[in-house]
């Protein structure tokens, strides 16, 4: 997992962050979700907040999960910083 800071049009930090991850399988993702300290802390804080504010809670969280086939996977980054997404963690080739 890698946490990313969003930037606005002037390249200043926006009030938004994202977690970006790549798991070998859904089982690996479940193991991470059940035991990782940062994920547990965020989950517990969100539950506490929802308990306090209920449906009027202005904080919205979500997850996007993609399941890719084990063959033919590729990621494409166009005009991105070399520390973007998965680039620093895997071998990459330029086209």
The pLDDT of residue 9 is 87
What letter would DSSP give residue 49? H
Determine whether 29 is exposed, middle or buried from the number of CB atoms within 10 Å of its CB (0-12, 13-18, 19+). middle
User: What's the pTM value of the predicted model, to 2 decimals?
Assistant: 0.49
**Per-residue model confidence as pLDDT tens digits over 24-57:** 788 888 888 888 888 888 888 888 988 999 888 8
Query: Could you identify the residue written with the tokens 């506490």?
Result: 48
Q: List beta partners, residue 13.
A: 7
Q: Per-residue pLDDT for 8 more than 80?
A: yes
The domains of the chain are located at 2-56
Cβ-proximal residues to 82 (8 Å cutoff; 6+ apart), any chain = 88
**Per-residue model confidence as pLDDT tens digits over 47-89:** 898 899 988 888 777 777 777 777 777 767 778 877 777 777 7
């Amino acid at each position: 997992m890698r946490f990313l800071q969003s930037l606005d049009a002037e390249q200043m930090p926006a009030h938004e962050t994202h977690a970006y991850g790549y798991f070998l399988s859904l089982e690996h993702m479940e193991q991470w979700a059940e035991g990782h300290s940062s994920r547990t802390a965020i989950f517990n804080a969100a539950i506490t907040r929802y308990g306090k504010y209920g449906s009027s809670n202005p904080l919205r969280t979500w997850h996007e999960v993609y399941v890719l086939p084990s063959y033919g996977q590729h990621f494409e980054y166009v005009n991105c910083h070399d520390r973007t997404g998965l680039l620093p963690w895997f071998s990459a080739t330029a086209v």
